[in-house]
Structure 1
Amino acid sequence: MTEFNKHTILKTHNLSIGYQTKKEKTVIASNIDIELHSGELIGLVGANGIGKSTLLRTLTSVQSSLNGIIQINNKPLDQYNNLELAKALSLVLTESVISKNLSVFELVALGRQPYTNWVGNLADADINIVNNALAETNLNDIKHKKCYELSDGQLQKVMIARALAQDTNLIILDEPTTHLDMYHKAYILRLLQKLAKNTNKTILFSSHEIDLAIQLCDKLIVMTENTVVSDTPSKLIERGTFETLFPKDFITFDKTTNSFKVIQ
């Protein structure tokens, strides 16, 4: 495996997220200071409704921050135009694919749109990048299949391959394991772990699979009602962070197994 230098890819300082109308401001979370590096797999975890999607939308310029600084590749997010941002950041959402009549190759090739001419023609270099993305995600055997023929797990791999083909330093995924069974949840997160190491990309994903994220991630961002903290899983466990995630009437965090248990 190739060794890479660690560079800061995404950084926030004193970030506040939420919603603002003409009449009022609703703060979801504040004082968010995170720093993500190249080659890292980072999981964003927290209870339902805590603000994970709001944070991802803010980091990707889908919605505006309320306060603070967001930098991608040491450049303020608000200084990117749409084309520049598409070359710096790939986003994988949970929405359905626009057209499942596309083949796997065609859908992955859409990742090259920021680099192609206005007609969208692929040069040889683009085709090579698409084929490399297919190989990295083990999709060569089905690259000519139509997307409507795929399982949910296969389709998620295709969306990850499209993000790889976009060739950005940063890939952000919103709940990439939704609708998958336990095996395929673990498979997708293990694939993301491998891709971060092999490609040196920074991969940030939100998930409810906290036990898996603890095992596979280099770093976690944990959102609670009172704070947002970021550190390695082991240091967060030592700090007792996971014990504050949920009410203690049904669920508890077991430090001996590094997993959540149902209280009997």
Structure 2
Amino acid sequence: MLNKDEHIILKTDKLAIGYHTKKGNTIICDGINLELQQGKLIGLVGANGIGKSTFLRTLTTIQPPLEGSIYLNGRSILDYSNLELAKTMSLVLTEQLMSKNLTVFELVALGRQPYTNWVGNLSSEDISEVKKAIGLTNLNDLEHRKCFELSDGQLQKVMIARALAQGSDLIILDEPTTHLDMYHKAYVLKLLQKLTKETSITILFSSHEIDLAIQLCDTMIVMNDTGVISDSPCRLIEQGVFDTLFPKDLIGFDETTGSFRVKK
């Protein structure tokens, strides 16, 4: 039961995701009912090909839902203009960055595009928000470095800072730890956890790092063959949900340690 002061940032009602084809609709998952609370770190997990990216693309209006509704701050997401949506929701994708010749400051400043004039001039408020985002992501020492000089881990922090500079209530990241080593995977997810606590922004990310997500997330969304379930990691463990993610002949979930083990 939610407290009255716990604000719901995003809600889905009987949502069905998938694709429109000439032969009809291909439904990947339906009947999705979720509520994402303000200031929470939320991990989306599931096996490869289960539909995590399709789910995120639907939530961010990149592709339309097949059925059902999505509400952002209590308002249908379809009622938002592109500019309003950009001020409310930020998106960090896994695609290769095309503007690596920019400095860290310049790339983070792109997050202020919804607020700048048509020329793109930064106001003092814009500059302040960019500086704040750089500080929150511990990038002060790299502010004037070119992005092509950065490691994958550093560049991911810059992309998170750009999303922060956008000033939105919700940040959605598609596999932010891809191509990172174990240390930087943990570092990035710990950074996301810190940002939710310090800014009250809601952060939703998809990941294959299920063990790390279990340790760090307030809430997890699990996609499996039977549908979508969302709850705290502890309750999902108690319900045996993580045991349903992979074939049991090779991978097992240890409820005591909260981690997956290869069966010998």
Indicate yes or no: 2:106 matched with 1:106: yes
Q: How many residues align?
A: 260
Helix, strand or coil: the match of 1:87?
A: helix
Indicate yes or no: 2:213 matched with 1:217: no
CA distance in 2, matches of 1:172, 1:72: 13
2:130 alignment partner in structure 1? 130
2:252 alignment partner in structure 1? 252
Which moved further from structure 2: 78-87 or 117-126? 78-87
Q: What are the within-5 Å matches in structure 2 for residues 183-198 of structure 1?
A: 183-198=183-198
Q: Percent identity?
A: 68
CA distance in 1, matches of 2:25, 2:226: 18
Q: CA deviation at 1:24?
A: 1.1
Deviations 1:42-62 (CA, angstroms, capped at 9, x unpaired) = 000000000000000000000
Q: What are the within-5 Å matches in structure 2 for residues 28-39 of structure 1?
A: 28-39=28-39
Letter in 2 for 1:213: A
1:156 alignment partner in structure 2? 156
Deviations 1:136-188 (CA, angstroms, capped at 9, x unpaired) = 00000000000000000000000000000000000000000000000000000
Q: What are the within-5 Å matches in structure 2 for residues 60-79 of structure 1?
A: 60-79=60-79
What value does the CA root-mean-square deviation take over the aligned residues? 0.6
1:51 alignment partner in structure 2? 51
Equivalent pair of 1:53/1:174 in contact (CA under 8 Å): yes
Q: What are the within-5 Å matches in structure 2 for residues 160-179 of structure 1?
A: 160-179=160-179
Helix, strand or coil: the match of 1:33?
A: strand
Q: CA deviation at 1:123?
A: 0.3
CA distance in 2, matches of 1:138, 1:21: 45
1:121 alignment partner in structure 2? 121
Equivalent pair of 1:10/1:74 in contact (CA under 8 Å): yes
CA distance in 1, matches of 2:6, 2:96: 34
CA distance in 2, matches of 1:99, 1:86: 20
Equivalent pair of 1:44/1:207 in contact (CA under 8 Å): yes
2:263 alignment partner in structure 1? 263
CA distance in 2, matches of 1:37, 1:124: 31
Helix, strand or coil: the match of 1:125?
A: helix
Helix, strand or coil: the match of 1:61?
A: coil
Q: TM-score, normalised by structure 1?
A: 0.98
CA distance in 1, matches of 2:244, 2:62: 29
1:81 alignment partner in structure 2? 81
Q: Which runs of 4+ in 1 moved over 2 A?
A: none
Equivalent pair of 1:6/1:39 in contact (CA under 8 Å): no
Letter in 2 for 1:233: P
Deviations 1:10-53 (CA, angstroms, capped at 9, x unpaired) = 00011000001232110000110110011100000000000000
Letter in 1 for 2:180: L
1:140 alignment partner in structure 2? 140
